[in-house]
Amino acid sequence: MSQPPSSRLRLHSPELGATAVSAPKQRRWTVVALTAPAYLWLAVTVLLPLSAMLFFSFLTVAPFGLETPALTFANYLDFIHEDFLQTLTERSLMLGVWVTLCCLLLGFPAALALAKHVKGRWREALFLLIVLPFWSNALVRIFSWTMVLRENGMIDRLIHDVLPGAPHLDLLFTYWAVVIGVVHSYLPYVILTCYISLQAIDDSLLEAARSLGAPGYKVFLRIILPLSMPGIFAGTILVFVPVIGSFMEPRILGGPRSFMLGNVIEDQFTVVFNWPLGAALSFILLAIVMLVLAACYPFLRKHLQNAT
């Protein structure tokens, strides 16, 4: 005589329960096995060097020479007492603001065109042009701008071919030459992050808004811009954080008149061999970045929640 369905379910329920209990454990161990190598690598290559630099920042001298290092706060006090370090920090922050704004003004329209207007092979070709700078060395890209921005350079000659009587254009060794060079280096980050957010916007939302009589600028302000905020914020962070510590572009394109805090940090490690001061300035810059991000976090969280 066959058992009723309920009794068969009761007979098999212990096995099903054991399977249900073991499945989450297997998933957890799978996640741990897949992510452990990456986190271990990050711990070895990021956390350990940062911990060493934090320790160096409280020393009187680098622990590599004949002098015996001692603990001190003088390296951090130098930043407070030296006005030129504060001036260079302000200049570096303003460079980050200008470069970020220029990247957003140039990158967002390009990403919008790629996501909603350019199709097929043309999109692939434009993407190739966007990522092409990553295939070349950073020094090569920066030195190539010296051929473009100097007097009698490519831009200057082009202007004189069109307007023979125009004054010479010499942007090399100026602040705006640094801005141009840094924007060229970091513009692809903004384009790619904004493109991902814009590509995720359903075209039916835009079509519905237009069918209801919404003009183009309202479609942009009410739908496109709010839903693309995650990409805008991601691009802003990816650009602003590394730009304020940049040193190659200011040294090559800006010259002595466009010195930044990143150049001082580089000199402390490579020229003066004052690692403690260089480490202290690095952590001061890192603290400033963290404070800026913390101040912007409520605004970011609000707009990211609205976008999702």
List pLDDT tens digits, range 236-278.
Answer: 999 999 999 999 999 999 988 888 999 999 999 999 999 999 9
Q: What distances in angstroms separate CA 223 from CA 104, 127, 214, 299, one per listed residue?
A: 18, 25, 11, 18
Task: Show the tokens assigned to 305.
Answer: 């929640």
Calculate ∠ Cα 148-175-276, nearest 5°: 115
Average pLDDT for the chain: 87
Residue 143: alpha-carbon gap to chain centroid: 22
Q: Show Cβ contacts of residue 143 under 8 Å, excluding neighbours closer than 6 positions.
A: 252
Q: Where are the domains of the chain?
A: 1-56, 78-307
CATH no., domain 78-307: 1.10.3720.10
Instruction: Dump pLDDT digits (tens) for 124-183.
Output: 899 888 888 888 888 888 999 998 898 888 888 888 888 887 888 888 899 999 999 999
pLDDT in tens, 180-195: 999 999 999 999 999 9
What does pTM read for this prediction?
Answer: 0.84
59 DSSP 8-state letter: B
